[in-house]
Amino acid sequence: MDIDVRGPRFGAAVTAVVLAVVLITGSAWLLAWQTLAFALGAAGGVGRSPYGWLFRRAVRPRLGPPTDFESPEPPRFAQAVGLFFAIVGLAGYAIGPEWLGQAATGCALAAAFLNAAFGYCLGCEMYLVIRRVTARAE
């Protein structure tokens, strides 16, 4: 079943704010929260992430009916990519070097910002490229 495209974009906006605060404060605890949010989104899909739940309960009822839908697999893959960067960032902040935490968090922030501001999902595009390549190989 396809999902409302506004949900992942809302989640990306919240993620971008969280990651910006992580970069400003250097908070490993806040990055751990974001890592958990990415893990839940990767495991259960964006609708099962905390930001997906918030969108469904608090934001979507205040919007008109959705007009655009997308397959849930690309955003779910994007959550897994975000999870990878968050884990690397968490390792950098928790055990060092700190620049690794900053760099990985910055990469995740850039991807979240692109999705939130422009609707361009880097992880989704990666998913589609991998899918095309594997389809040709078969």
DSSP structural state of residue 53: H
The most distant pair of C-alpha atoms in the chain lies apart, rounded to whole Å, by: 47
Token pair of 107, please?
């990469």
Tens of pLDDT, residue by residue over 13-66, are: 999 999 999 999 999 999 999 999 999 999 999 999 999 999 999 999 999 999
CB 72 within 8 A of CB 47: yes
Give the pLDDT score at 63: 94
Give the pLDDT score at 117: 97
Give the pLDDT score at 1: 86
pTM, full prediction: 0.94
Q: Are strands 3-4 and 69-70 parallel, antiparallel or unpaired?
A: antiparallel
Does residue 89 carry a pLDDT above 90? yes
Q: Please report which confidence band the pLDDT of residue 138 belongs to, taking 50, 70 and 90 as the band edges.
A: confident
Calculate the average pLDDT of the chain.
Answer: 96
Does residue 129 carry a pLDDT above 90? yes
